[in-house]
Amino acid sequence: QITLKESGPPLVKPTQTLTLTCTFSGFSLSTSGVGVAWIRQPPGKALEWLALTYWDDDKRYSPSLNSRLTITKDASKNQVVLTMTNMDPVDTATYYCARTWCSGGRCYFDYWGQGTLVTVSS
Amino acid sequence: QAVLTQPPSLSASPGASASLTCTLRGGVSVVTYRIYWYQQKPGSPPQYLLRYKSDSDNQRGSGVPSRFSGSKDASANAGILLISGLQSEDEADYYCMTWHGSAVLFGGGTKLTVL
């Protein structure tokens, strides 16, 4: 059974750095074709992809947020960490992590965590 | 800059079919893109439904009913999610997604109301 769970502070102040952890089970981030992504969703709004790390340590970032994001993985601990600097109230959102499955160049998010709501406010 | 555009809302009756569109803008052709579709119900994370590039390159997610299918309208430069035999449980937000280079794009989502 594949599960993912996001954890992190529910409240951060403007200009602070957010650190989120995705802890997963049921798959290995050392397996070819596997990745873990972060996606967020402001209240009542659309999904926005943030970052992705692959089994081979390749990393990809949203072009619009690239300068603020860092994604790292610890395959031995089954964890992926996302840091986002200089938080602003517009970054208030539910943050999801999702397993990425790639086969023949076709990659999609097949399992998602329940998400964690992060509010940015002073 | 490629962008996926979806109509904000769509209503349809139980038993009818609904066609949700996802228009690719930014000077790129939808013909060469795989379009992925996700369903999201209130308070829950999105769930993968299917992907569609062509009749020979498409896949429905595990456990997804055959009532859900994908297609394209090349003239409109759009991917389409077709839901036939609408049921009340299909009422949800639907998001399209694609890969543009090595980055992921999501559409703005369509809220489907079944009434």
pLDDT digits (tens, 9 = 90+) for B30-71: 999 999 999 999 999 999 999 999 999 999 999 999 999 999
When the pLDDT of each residue in chain B is averaged and rounded to a whole number, the result is: 96
Helix (H) or strand (E) segment spanning residue A35: strand A34-41
Mean per-residue pLDDT over chain A, rounded:
96
Q: What is the DSSP string of B63-106?
A: T--TTEEEEEEGGGTEEEEEE-S--GGG-EEEEEEEEETTEEEE
pLDDT bin (cut points 50, 70, 90) of residue A104 is confident
Q: Is A90 an 8 Å CB contact of chain B?
A: no
Q: Does A52 touch chain B (CB under 8 A)?
A: yes
pLDDT tens per residue across span A2-22: 999 999 999 999 999 999 999
Q: Which amino acid is at B59?
A: Q
**In the predicted structure, residue A68 carries a pLDDT above the cut 90:** yes
Q: Which of B46, B103, B108 sits opposite A62 (nearest CB)?
A: B103
Partners of residue A48 in chain B, C-beta under 8 Å: 106
CA distances from A60 to A57, A70, B112 (A): 10, 10, 32
